[in-house]
Chain A
């Protein structure tokens, strides 16, 4: 759900699509059984869908963060007809990013295409592409091909370290007070990654870990919400956290904010706001957009295993991981972090942090 606003804003601002008035969009239903690998594929009868990969790559001591996101925004609840080169029913957006703390670089590119000859997503199995960017299922895992302008490129093999999980109660993740405001939220919390990274004209072998979300919905966000903070934490002990807060215009976090612990075998523990806290810490001002991001937030939660309160701070590997002024002029911060246990001061894991609604233009577009 976290990207819904973004995609809506980008696409509507740049192209002024017809609101899909009268169109009959499907909605997530309680108790619906998802079947795999079919449901890793596209669901054109839902309005919004994305496949979202973030991860940490290593070449010896050198470290990189990467992001690869494929969005689908339905215009009409039908798939692009086969052979239709310039479809009008689906629009595809994609973002790629590489952070390189050693040189302090953050490379990124955004892309927008209509469903058709140069962008699409297969129904019935994982195969999405946008230009030369591609994510496909290969055996039990998947292959990701990406690039950033003529600066960088990568070809990664991703294998699930543990089975995917589905967030929410009874198979759906609720977004708001209305019953339709919900999503199917499928996540691979830990993927083993290996492959090649091309940078500065050189190709290097890399390996590491990644996180993948696949979310399917048709609902729209509450107009009172001006942005959100989201993070996925991968601990060295084999557990993970996915958590977010939705920020209201009033400055208060929305009650639909959520945090989930995932244990090493995929058992989930959901926590509501109150059971966890998200404390804004740190300031980084973007030279591109002037937005100020709280880039070292602290998450207070209760460890479901020990029952003890825990305090984790996220520390970015590089302050500037802002996706600035992409297609449609929307900017957000999305970057690799270390997870510091504030009791011991030790690094206990790695994370990806996403912050939206801090650059002025997001708030403007919302109104």
Chain B
């Protein structure tokens, strides 16, 4: 079963076409980089896949589940159990501590207290933040914040992680570390990843590059691993 199947997706804002028939797919555990200039429709595509936006036409299927025809609540549920997002600006909830941020989606998905208590240290440990788990977001460095975000994304054991410029706001050294972390968790848990990026360096953890221009995929190149 493919982790993600995007078929002929179109999307316009105010009659201004942003996506004009995009199709591609990701296998389980596969990592692809989505590149292209600003305004080419990358973020819109990401939003559509994440169920935050809806395509005008075409279909998106995640882990065999088509998003078409899902109502708002079902989309929310899909995000809760199958897809996580990692953002350029981390988007931690500023009033929650690092551990609480990671715990939050677990609470949302209704996981029992005991399961959560056993899983949480594991997640924190996995991103190497055991010593900072009670810090508030504003007390964390960029890299640490992105670690929290990744841990939060991992918490629900998703089949697909969408990463929007995950290293865009980090210095290059930290960026490398975060990329390694992303690659590691993907490998370890078999999670497919779609990484939106401007930085060619990111492609090193990807098996494939998707190039977007004016709302269409113009190139899908296999990368040598």
Complex contact flag A–B (Cβ < 8 Å): no
Which residues of chain B have a CB within 8 Å of any CB of chain A? none
Which residues of chain A have a CB within 8 Å of any CB of chain B? none
